[in-house]
Amino acid sequence: MSKAYETVIGLEVHVELATRTKIFCGCSTAFGGAPNTHTCPVCTGMPGSLPVLNKAVVEKAMAVGLATNCNITRNCKFDRKNYFYPDNPQNYQISQLYYPICRDGKVEIEVEGKKKFVRIHEIHMEEDAGKLVHDPYTDSSLVDFNRSGVPLIEIVSEPDMRSADEVIAYLEKLRLIIQYLGASDCKLNEGSMRADVNLSVREVGAEEFGTRTETKNLNSFKAIARAIENERERQIDLIESGEKVVQETRRWDDTKEYSYPMRSKEDAQDYRYFPDPDLVPIHISDEWIEEIRSKQPEFRDEKRARYREEYQIPDYDIDIITNSKKLADIFEDTIALGAAPKKVSNWLMVETMRLLKENVMDPEDIKFTAKNLAKLIKLVDARTINGNVAKEVFEHVFAEDIDPEAYVKEHGLATVNDEGALKTACEAAIAGNSKAVEDYKGGKEKALGALVGQVMKAMKGKADPGSVNQMLRELLK
C-alpha cells in the first residue's frame, strides 16, 4: 500500500428503552413471550387504531439527552417514515425527522490515555418493528409482533471516530451512561442495543470525506471491531485498484467474517417522511427538563470520586466496579448490609470475575443478591466456614442466589470447632508423617504445611486452617 489512509466513522445506535409498556399502546415490552401475545390493535397496525404517546419514553429520552450534553428540543414531534416490510404492519414507522427530541450533544471518550469528544448529532424517539421468523419445516416466514412498538431511541453521532478502538470506547461510554440511568439494559446480544457503522476512508490530509457505507447486524463489540477492520480494508482495496466505493447498506456475517451488500443506501427523501397527523406535538417546559435533571443518578466519575473518599479500596478495584452499574449496586448494597468494603470488593474482583468469564456472562447478567453475598461474608468473618468452603458456597450463590446460611447447614459445611476431633486428627497426622515432623523439628517451617494438609483432608476440608496450624505447633513443641 503506497498511500496512508484515514478511517472516518460515525455511528447510529439504537437503544430499546426499559419502559414497562410500549411507546404508543399499553402492551408489555418484556423480551420474549409466546409470539404475538404482547400485542393489540395499535401495535399490529389495525385500521382505525390510534397511538397514544407513553410519557415515560419522553422522560427516558430526555434523561439520556441531558447525560450526553444535548440540547432538548422544546417543541418536538413525530413523523411517519414510509416503507413496506412484513414486520412493519402500518407500512410506516413512527419516528422523528424534523424535530428530534435532542440535538448537539457530546460525550468524552478515552483511548490509550488520549481523551477526545465524540459529538452527537441528534437523538430521536421511534418505535421498533416486529420480527420475522423463518420456519424451515413449512418453508415460510412467520411474523411476531411482540417487539412491534417497543420504544427506541436512535443516537446519531457525527463522523468523529477514527478507529475501532474509538468506536468501542464510545459505545461503552454510551452503554454505561444509559445503564446508570436505568433507561435500558443495553444488551447487544438481545438486541436492546444495536449499532450501525457508517464508514468511509480518505487519504490522510484530505478535506473531503470519501463515499461511506453502512454496516448492519453487529451484535457484539468484537463483531463491530472485526467489521470495521474488514470494511476499511475492502474500501482501501477498491480505491487502490481504481474502483469506486458504492454508497450502500451492507450486512456483516460474523461467522464468515465478511460483509455483503443488502441494498443501496437510501436517503431521507426516499421514505417520504411527513408529520404524523395522529400525534400532537410535544411541548417540553423548562420545569419538566429541570425535574428530569434533578433525578439524574450519580454517574461513574462521581461514583469513582466518592468511592475513593469513602472506602479504602484500590483505584483498580474502583475502576472495575464502577464500570458496571450492576457491580456498583451490589457493592454498595452489600456494604450497607454491614460487610467490609475491601472484602466485598475482593469477592467481586476475584471470584465473581472468574465465574463471569467462565460462563461468558456480562456483569449486567449477575443474578445473585447483595443479601446473600453479605451473609457469606458474615459466615467467613465468624469463622463458621473457611476460605475454601466459602469459595465453593459462592459458586452456588453466583449460580442460583442460594442462602449461604441454609446451604452450609444443609450440607454440613460448617467448620468443625470440636477441639477433641481436631486434636485427634492432628495427632494422627503427626504419627503418620514422621518425615515431615522431623523436618519441621529440624527447622523447616514449610514441613508444617504438609501436616496441615493431612489434617484438612482428614477433616474433609471443614477445619479452620488457622486453628489447625496452632494445634499442630502446640503438639510439636
Binding site for Zn ion (CB under 5 A): 25, 27, 40, 42-43
* 49/217 with CB nearer Zn ion: 49
**Residue 30: CA count within 13 A, CB half-sphere:** 8
Cβ proximity to Zn ion: between 43 and 335 the closer is 43
CB of 39: closest distance to Zn ion in angstroms? 5
CB-nearer residue toward Zn ion: 30 or 382:
30
Task: Say if CB 211 and CB 177 are below 8 A apart.
Answer: no
Q: How far is the CB of 56 from Zn ion (least distance, A)?
A: 15
- Closer of 40 and 289 to Zn ion (Cβ): 40
| Min CB(42)–Zn ion separation in Å | 5
Stated as kind and residue range, the H or E segment containing 468 is helix 465-475
What are the angstrom distances between the C-alpha of 363 and each of 122, 165, 298, 322, 355? 29, 21, 19, 11, 10
**Phi, psi for residue 228 in degrees, rounded to 5:** -65, -45
Nearer to Zn ion, 33 or 387 (CB): 33
Distance of closest approach, residue 100 Cβ to Zn ion, in angstroms: 24
* First CA to last CA distance, the chain: 77
Q: How far is the CB of 183 from Zn ion (least distance, A)?
A: 21
Distance CA 176, CA 319 (A): 13
Q: Which is nearer to Zn ion, 21 or 217 (CB)?
A: 21
Distance CA 469, CA 417 (A): 14
Between the CA atoms of 448, 449, 451 and 457, what dihedral angle is there, to the nearest 10 degrees? 160
How far apart, in whole angstroms, are the C-alpha atoms of residue 80 and residue 382? 64
Q: Tell me how far CA of residue 13 lies from CA of 40, 126, 197, 295, 417, in angstroms.
A: 28, 12, 9, 24, 58
Q: Nearer to Zn ion by C-beta: 42 or 178? A: 42
3-state DSSP assignment of residue 269: helix
Side chain identity at 170, as an amino acid letter? Y
Write the burial class of residue 28 (CB in 10 Å: 0-12 exposed, 13-18 middle, 19+ buried).
middle
Over the Cα atoms of the chain, what is R_g? 29
Between 16 and 332, CB nearer to Zn ion: 16
- Give the nearer residue to Zn ion in terms of CB position, either 10 or 130: 130
* Contact present, 62 and 165 (Cβ < 8 Å): no
Beta strands in 50-173 (DSSP E): 71-72, 75-76, 79-82, 92-95, 102-111, 114-127, 131-135, 140-144, 151-157
Task: Give min distance, CB of 91 to Zn ion, in A.
Answer: 17
Least distance from Zn ion to the Cβ atom of residue 78, Å: 17
